[in-house]
Structure 1
Amino acid sequence: MHFSLLLILFASPTYAWLPLEDWGSGNVTGSVGESGQCICHVFLPDTTFPADRVESVQISSNKLTVDVELHISKLISFKAQLVVLLEELSNLTLRLEVVESGPDKYVKLEFELLRIELREFEAMVTELKTSLNSSSPAFDSLYNEIRNMSMIVDQLESYDQSNLEVIRIEFAKLQKKLEKCRDEQDDFSNVQIGSCKHGGILRVGKPVVSQLNANLNTGYTYGGWGKDTNPLPGSENMYWYSASTDTVVRYISVYTDYYRLIMRQAKKTYDLYDPKKDWRGTGNNYIIRNNTLYYQFANPFSMAKYNMTSQTAEYRVVPKASNRFSYQYSANQNLDFAADETGLWVTYATEESKGKLVLGKIDEAAFALSEVWETSIFKQSVTNTFMICGVLYATRSVDIHTEEIFYTYDTHTRQESYVSIPFEKFLDFYVNLDYNPTDQKLYMYNKGYYVSYHVKFKSA
């Protein structure tokens, strides 16, 4: 008997064939047709391939590609605009710098045109930021620069011819003051540098206040500044500075010249603290000589020197020196170092002298005292001391504005005398005062300020 098999499939228009074993018995039914043929009815499950969704994804992908290409074109366009903007902004900056360089050019500037250009720049930056839908330091920097320029334009516009005339008058006054200061300085320079052919100090000039210390903090009350008293070749213009909020001596900074000192651009800062050896000191009366810092060592109580060339240190105990007697203005000023045309010195007090000031000459090669002189003044009544040509000068406070050199001791003749050489001390007290034989100036550290004085000597 011959049979023909007819399969009738009931399913969606699009479908995928399933393996025969996945066709459950419930999905297949059979019957016999009118001609005796066998008819099987197969019902496939609706797990067909989503061709319609694939087509939709392809359409979306094409659309996104077009959008990305459009945004890339915009970015290229904005990049070109940004380059133009930065170039124009740079040109405007140069224009403003030219204007600022000469007061007479203020009145010639078209201020309104500048404002229009600045507003255009700001609009372009805003457009860029909005179009890119992002923020970055570059945009913020542009905004800040534009605002700063707008403020400069406002300030410049405030200058008119009358203001310029006032400025010229003030410049003329300043020039006269500078000339007077120069003449005064020339008047004080009456003895050749390094010479001791004079009769000692005649008077001290007005305080010259350089500026606040390099830390820009009046809290750095303790410290000192000045020049090397016997500089190494090539270091003649070097300045130094050291300060702290207490009497601890740790950091010492050196500057190649006065300009670097004022600009706070240290060539190098030395740290006296080392984990292997603590070389920190105490007090304020330290100096630099031959690129070596001479200062009061903390433990044990002794004099110390730190060679900044080799960055090595050593100390020596000063025989009989006491740490109980300090100067009037500050504690821990037990050893006071000084240098003059004749060498290196240290002042202190002893228990045997009952607190009276003792002066010692230091043999620099041996780093030991070579000779000692005892004075008659009580150290705690003294505010500071310094040496000039082998003569000790001691100061004391007169009032809140006035200091006085009141005592001298000549180591050559062993003669002492009481004098009265008043000078202005800028602020009410100071912690460091030393003479420098390389320029014949007194250097004072006064409540965080750099102060100096010219010295005029008596004729020999």
Structure 2
Amino acid sequence: MSQSYILILIVIPFSFFQLTTGKECVCDLKNVDPLFPKDELRNVETTALKCIRSITLEKMTDLDRLVLGLQQRIKQLEDNVVKLEKENGNLYAAVSLRIIELEFAEIQNLLNKLNRTTNDYHHLNAQAATQLEDMKYTMVDLEKFDKMQVIKKNREKESKKLEQCKDELKASSPPPTVSPGRCGLGQMVSVAGPRTSSLTAYSTSYSYGAWGRDVKPARGDENKYWLVVLSNSNVYGHFVRQYGTLSTLLLGIGPKDTYISGSNPTTNTIQGSNMVVYANALYYNCYNTYSVCQFNMTTRAVSTVALPSDTGYNNKFPFAHLGTTYSYTDMDFTTDESGVYVIYATTSNFGNVIITKVETSNPPVLGQTWTTSLHKKTATNTFMVCGVLYATRYLDKETEQIFYSYDTETKKERYDLKINIKKMKTNIEYLNYDPRDRLLYIYSDAYILTYELVFQ
């Protein structure tokens, strides 16, 4: 019987081989490459993790918050000084002077925080730059071990995804352009901010609430701000807190509380966080009904008007995302250049959004109505600009997106808008547009914020 010989070739990085004859074959494989430096990779991962923990998103936004807050307080201080110069009477002048002293103290406190934060940032910047440079050289060395070019292929895949994303963005038509005859605004192109960001005097006690300015203020009340917190189960409220200026609101100085009722909840108290103030009246969802409430903050009188009987209320058609609902947000009150609207859903319209103009007479009456194909539970909030309804949705903890619009003049609706809002907190419980300053007023997990709408 002849002997059989078997030759086995091993491709680099292995050397070959020792052959034996007969029925058995034994191979001796030797790796000719150096061992993979796993300890170096582990060190890079550890350094990256420490860097992420030391430079978080919250820390990165601290400087922006402080600078914006400082700008706002300095502007408000200038306004208050002008008012003080015009005031007659020692009592009022003394009160105003005290407020100015408090604002000076707050500004000094902000400057101290800004200096400390800036110094910390310089230290973090230098430290991070050194660490990143070290990690860069280490990763270049480690990449030499990628014999199968996996990293290169992954880069090519990511590059293709990026190009595809760019093509999709180019293919998406721009948001609707509001005709000059209506408001004089062009198309909305972005949302900038936050311009203002602060906790209220309640700190983090109440995660649901609303705030803003009177969209149609009485003469002399142009600088007033209002705040409502849902103090009972994040659902109910029974008073409106008013402040003379933004600075006094942020500092929690001199609030004036106007009570709708003495207990909470009860007839005519506030249900849900979506409300607006227009011409010294609060418009909101009345407790346990499908009615619009109008609360006159001077006379404390409440007037109501009922929506259709199949309107969702008591959490039937709330705003929602990813299986999570925003409690008792069945009705959303919004303002634009023409007045007040109520956004809601009915069973006869299959839970889709309906827009109704609220005529702000006393008592209020329902005006023109528009029906849409937007299912209310697919949105997290709505607002109006120049007769155009916009809806937002939750993308992730950092981003909310304006994705939908309905033009009440042309009756055209779109689902392809991609205008992102950079969030400070996870949830946005309240959102409304103020045509006086073209800002979005937002209540987000106990924080009050403003964002600027940017038009082309």
User: Shared fold (TM-score greater than 0.5)?
Assistant: yes
- Name 2:414's counterpart in structure 1: 417
Listed one character per residue, the Cα deviations across residues 12-45 of structure 1 (whole Å, up to 9, x for unaligned) are xxxxxxxxxxxxxxxxxxxxxxxxxxxxxxxxxx
Q: 1:169 to 1:308 in 2, by over 3 A?
A: closer
Residue 201 in 1 paired to residue 197 in 2? Answer: no
How many residue pairs get matched?
275
Structure 1 residue 253: Cα displacement: 0.3
Within 5 A, what are the aligned runs for 1:46-445? 170=118, 196-216=183-203, 218-245=204-231, 246-274=234-262, 278-319=267-308, 320-323=310-313, 324-328=316-320, 329-365=325-361, 367-418=364-415, 419-445=417-443
Say whether the 8 Å CA contact 1:209–1:449 is kept in structure 2: no
Say whether the 8 Å CA contact 1:338–1:345 is kept in structure 2: yes
Q: 1:168 to 1:264 in 2, by over 3 A?
A: closer
Structure 1 residue 399: Cα displacement: 1.1
Q: 1:266 to 1:285 in 2, by over 3 A?
A: farther
Give the match's secondary structure for 1:347. Answer: strand
Q: Which amino acid in 2 is paired with 1:265?
A: I
Q: 1:273 to 1:205 in 2, by over 3 A?
A: same
Stretches of structure 1 lacking an aligned partner (at least 5 in a row)? 1-163, 175-190
* Distance (whole Å) between structure 2 residues aligned to residue 168 and residue 206 of structure 1: 23
Listed one character per residue, the Cα deviations across residues 115-159 of structure 1 (whole Å, up to 9, x for unaligned) are xxxxxxxxxxxxxxxxxxxxxxxxxxxxxxxxxxxxxxxxxxxxx
Q: 1:304 to 1:266 in 2, by over 3 A?
A: farther
Structure 1 residue 169: Cα displacement: 11
Q: Which amino acid in 1 is paired with 2:301?
A: T
* Distance (whole Å) between structure 2 residues aligned to residue 285 and residue 169 of structure 1: 36
User: TM-score normalized by structure 2?
Assistant: 0.57
Q: 1:170 to 1:201 in 2, by over 3 A?
A: same
Q: 1:274 to 1:168 in 2, by over 3 A?
A: closer
* Distance (whole Å) between structure 1 residues aligned to residue 289 and residue 384 of structure 2: 26
Say whether the 8 Å CA contact 1:253–1:266 is kept in structure 2: no
Give the match's secondary structure for 1:207. Answer: strand
Give the match's secondary structure for 1:380. Answer: helix
Q: Which amino acid in 1 is paired with 2:287?
A: A
Say whether the 8 Å CA contact 1:222–1:244 is kept in structure 2: yes
Say whether the 8 Å CA contact 1:226–1:239 is kept in structure 2: yes
Say whether the 8 Å CA contact 2:215–2:436 is kept in structure 1: yes
Percent identity for Structure 1 against Structure 2: 34
User: TM-score normalized by structure 1?
Assistant: 0.56
Say whether the 8 Å CA contact 1:272–1:278 is kept in structure 2: no
Runs of 4+ in 1 over 2 A off after TM superposition: 166-171
* Distance (whole Å) between structure 2 residues aligned to residue 272 and residue 347 of structure 1: 23
* Distance (whole Å) between structure 1 residues aligned to residue 345 and residue 182 of structure 2: 30
The higher radius of gyration belongs to: 1
Structure 1 residue 213: Cα displacement: 1.6
Stretches of structure 2 lacking an aligned partner (at least 5 in a row)? 1-111, 123-177
Give the match's secondary structure for 2:299. Answer: coil
